[in-house]
Structure 1
Amino acid sequence: MSFRLSQHRAADGTRRVIAARGGEAHFVRGVDGVRALAMAAIERGVGIAETVEALGLDEAVDLAAEQAAGRLLAPIDHPDAAHLILTGTGLTHLGSAEGRDKMHRDAAAAAHQTDSMRMFLEGVEGGKPAPGDVGQQPEWFYKGNGTHLIGPDAPLAMPAFAQDGGEEPELAGIYLIGPDGTPHRLGLCLANEFSDHVTERHNYLWLAHSKLRQAALGPELLVGTPPEDVRGTSRIRREGAVLWEKPFLSGEANMSHSLANLEHHHFKYPLFRIPGDIHVHFFGTATLSFSDGVRTQEGDVFEIEAAPFTLPLRNPLVRSAPEPVAVGQL
């Protein structure tokens, strides 16, 4: 049975883990973070659910009230932000090539099949191999480290030089690398991968620049067998009113790649199997307000919700102050 984990920080700074099933949620005894809980599970050679049961539960907690009070954090972090790695894959969802092609259509003749469309079609054909086989590798990008990760209700900051700050509603896989170098999937989170689509549209080779941005995770880590079909809603509020709203789909039933294939092509690199590291890997989306002509502005609030998650991911958009960059000569 699936359950949900959250990280809580009290007013005095004390951190605890919350485990929730259905409408009931309780603090977990003896751990101050999800990473510590997962490390304990690996050491015991059992799953996270068994570890929570062994540790035991304390008092009940109202998750919605704790989120409203600003006491829920991103459901994963690392004491050394350099050892939390943000990466992702694109063109992984059925229909996702449509939005990307809208962005790039002006750069190519109408009869020309773009690199994006070719990669998408290759994924449709070979992204879900039989168990034990290796499928087509997806588009892949690096997004940053733990300094780029924020939690629910925190501001999403686009750099002063950014041309756009656009939402990307999706699922993210959370992984901990065990002592022997084995990647362990802890679960899935709601995520706003957040990109600069104007920069990307100018030249697809600027995709890397468009992705070096913050990203937000919803307050709940869904632990257990991943749902095949996830249906949610992405919206943007401006001055309290809904500016844009659209359903989005995720889960393997709505993807051109299997999670196992995406995981293989990420963790096949030894660099990504360093014991103790945390990986947050964004699985992609087919739904962008940018593709519908929306131009976000400071003060807009991104809101993403989807069952079986019970809490929304909300983040206001802000722009960072300019930061002068000077390179010294030694």
Structure 2
Amino acid sequence: MRIIQCLHDGAARAALVEDDNRVRLTEADTYTLARRAIAAGRPLAEVVEAALTETRLDYGQLIDERRLLPPLTHDDPAHCLVTGTGLTHLGSADTRASMHAKAQADESELTDSMRMFKLGVEGGKPATGETGAQPEWFYKGDGDCVVAPEAPMPVPAFAEDAGEEPELAGLYVIGDDGQPWRVGYAIGNEFSDHVTERFNYLWLAHSKLRHCSFGPELLIGELPDHLEGTSRIVRDGETLWEKPFLTGEANMAHTVANLEHHHFKYPGFRRPGDIHVHFFGTATLSFADGVQTRDGDRFEIDLPAFGRTLRNPLAFEDVAADTPVHSL
């Protein structure tokens, strides 16, 4: 089952994707339906089915009218935490072989990134009931950093780069008892400043404090083990860059369960009522091929199992915000 979220009569409403051109509205937003499922102890898919109305909407018209929303939102953006993990994907066969060869080098010759990757390869997929290797983790922001599908992706004036990161994102709601519940999965564009990160890896935290997008559709149910997608950049109506990417656990050094464990093990991430958007990492970047994006370029991330393509144009800001600190 795949659902979207859209504006209808001024309010957020979830809708079931019936086909490429039509969605069927429900009586509530995704967050409300998820909370309803948790309280009733029922699968979310059943709750969505029970909440369907007879109203059907044109999918393309929702896009044209800019009524698409991220597929999971919270009324208070401060109660949405956006985070992610890196160095989780094995990449293509050639890249994998190269990485494995480097991983056999003497420990003293390995970069911190390669050590982290090697740790995941060796211990990122533990047996059931066991704890696996801890992955890299980063913070992106709260719900205010999330951009709706089709909406412009802001690039701050101080940014050194504006690069896509095609990823899967896990979407979660925390129950009243502090139990995390996975609502589903979505295509994500984690979006980073790779020039800043490349200058010094200790600036990774700065490079991640950018906007992001996910959706438009939320996949409810099991995640396919192997997924093949395409990431592209469109400039002035023409494809500037395009490359396939692989994801799903068959192409990852970590299990999703291991990534989830090392995120939600922290009590602060189990605050009742919060939602979490957690990016699972990527192995494909246009930046690695020397692409420099500019204002108006459009990112397109396509993963057929997730329905419609995630698209966002870039909007470069010309002036940096003046943020002096005043003494009280």
Aligned to 2:105: none
Aligned to 2:3: 5
Of 73, 76, 79, the match for 1:77? 73
Q: Deviations over 1:252-293 (max 9, x none)?
A: 111110000000000000000000000000000000000011
Q: After superposition, where does 1:168-187 map in structure 2 within 5 Å?
A: 168-187=165-184
- Describe the shift of the 1:151–1:248 C-alpha distance in structure 2 as closer, same or farther (beyond 3 A): same
**Which segments of 5 or more consecutive residues in structure 2 lack a partner in the other structure?**
100-107
CA contact (8 A) 1:64 1:311 kept: no
Q: Deviations over 1:160-213 (max 9, x none)?
A: 100001000011000000000000000001110000000000000000000000
Of 223, 226, 240, the match for 1:226? 223
Distance apart, 1:118 and its partner CA: 1.1
Which consecutive aligned stretches of 4+ in structure 1 deviate over 6 angstroms post-superposition?
none
**Distance in 2 between residues matched to 1:112 and 1:243, nearest whole Å:** 37
CA contact (8 A) 1:267 1:273 kept: yes
| CA-atom RMSD in angstroms | 1.9
Aligned to 2:286: 289
SS in 1 for 2:263: helix
Of 145, 148, 153, the match for 1:148? 145
**Distance in 2 between residues matched to 1:250 and 1:236, nearest whole Å:** 19
**Distance in 2 between residues matched to 1:112 and 1:240, nearest whole Å:** 45
**Distance in 2 between residues matched to 1:192 and 1:249, nearest whole Å:** 14
Q: Which amino acid aligns with 1:286?
A: A
Aligned to 2:323: 325
**Which segments of 5 or more consecutive residues in structure 1 lack a partner in the other structure?**
103-110
Q: Which amino acid aligns with 1:323?
A: A
- Describe the shift of the 1:144–1:122 C-alpha distance in structure 2 as closer, same or farther (beyond 3 A): same
Of 222, 225, 232, the match for 1:235? 232
Q: Answer with 294-303 or 87-96: which moved more.
A: 87-96
TM-score by length of structure 1 reads: 0.92
Task: State the identity as a percent.
Answer: 56
CA contact (8 A) 2:18 2:24 kept: no
CA contact (8 A) 2:165 2:191 kept: yes
**Distance in 1 between residues matched to 2:182 and 2:50, nearest whole Å:** 20
Distance apart, 1:98 and its partner CA: 5.8
SS in 2 for 1:308: helix
SS in 2 for 1:78: coil
TM-score by length of structure 2 reads: 0.92
Aligned to 1:302: 299
CA contact (8 A) 1:199 1:207 kept: yes
**Distance in 1 between residues matched to 2:76 and 2:57, nearest whole Å:** 29
Aligned to 2:33: 37
Distance apart, 1:65 and its partner CA: 3.6
Distance apart, 1:70 and its partner CA: 1.9
Aligned to 1:105: none
Aligned to 1:25: 23
Q: After superposition, where does 1:21-170 map in structure 2 within 5 Å?
A: 21=18, 25-28=23-26, 30-31=27-28, 33-95=29-91, 112-170=109-167
**Distance in 1 between residues matched to 2:305 and 2:150, nearest whole Å:** 20
Q: After superposition, where does 1:260-271 map in structure 2 within 5 Å?
A: 260-271=257-268
SS in 1 for 2:109: coil
Distance apart, 1:68 and its partner CA: 3.3
Q: Deviations over 1:199-242 (max 9, x none)?
A: 00000000000000000112101101111111110000111111
SS in 1 for 2:202: helix
